[in-house]
Amino acid sequence: MSVSFFLREDARSEAPALPAGISVKLWRPSEHTLPPWSALRVAYWLQARIGMFADERFAELSLWDGGVLIHRLIVTPRWRRFPFMEAGDLQLGALWTHPQYRRRGLARIAMAEAHRLFGGPGQRFWYLADSANLPSTALALASGYRVAGTGRRTAPLGLRLFGQFQIDRPPAAGSRRSVGRLA
């Protein structure tokens, strides 16, 4: 599988207004409490507790319609799975939208909210997508990201759990797609 790597470098941005009745929740691992139950949250909580992330900015940003989870994305600091990132970088990923709420722009709203909450001068955000996933590519470009290269996900001994995302081909230097420290 070919992976497209997207990068956004800029200051804090304003998130668009939320649709009526939609609220935002932010969950972060805490050393004092267990996470709300889900296998994904428990896995992230454990990884945060044992210090796998470069810093404590790991978060789950979710959009809710009343009591219904309608969109989720994960904000991840640098860690071994993303060796291309610098220490202060963040990666937005693991996006999911409830099937009944798709095609309403919720992913773009959630990404903009993450930029607003975690952005600032010099803050770099990464977004990765399967190169064949055209809606995900369109989302990245519409959200202000530029192509930073293409690469792959490794799976040592056939185990994706121990793999990394690696950039094999940064954009050509001098092209409109060249990106700061990668070009």
pLDDT in tens, the chain (183 residues): 799 999 999 766 777 788 899 999 998 887 666 656 677 777 777 777 767 776 788 888 999 999 999 999 999 999 888 999 998 999 999 999 999 999 999 999 999 999 999 998 889 999 999 999 999 999 999 999 999 999 998 876 776 666 778 899 876 554 444 344 443
| CATH classification of the domain holding 64 | 3.40.630.30
Q: Is 164 domain-assigned?
A: no
Residue whose C-alpha is closest to residue 18's, from 109, 81, 98, 93:
109
Q: Is 39 domain-assigned?
A: yes
Total structural domains in the chain? 1
Residue whose C-alpha is closest to residue 143's, from 106, 102, 88:
106
Q: Is 172 domain-assigned?
A: no
Give the domain range for residue 124: 10-145
Q: Is 116 domain-assigned?
A: yes
Order of all β-strands in the sheet with 22-27: 22-27, 59-65, 68-77, 90-97, 124-130, 2-9, 146-153, 165-169
Tell me the pTM: 0.83
Where residue 25 falls (left for φ over 0; alpha for ψ -120 to 50; beta otherwise) is: beta
The CA distance from 89 to 103, in Å, is 29
Q: What are phi and psi of 109, to 5 degrees?
A: -65, -45
158 within 8 A of 168, measured Cβ to Cβ: no
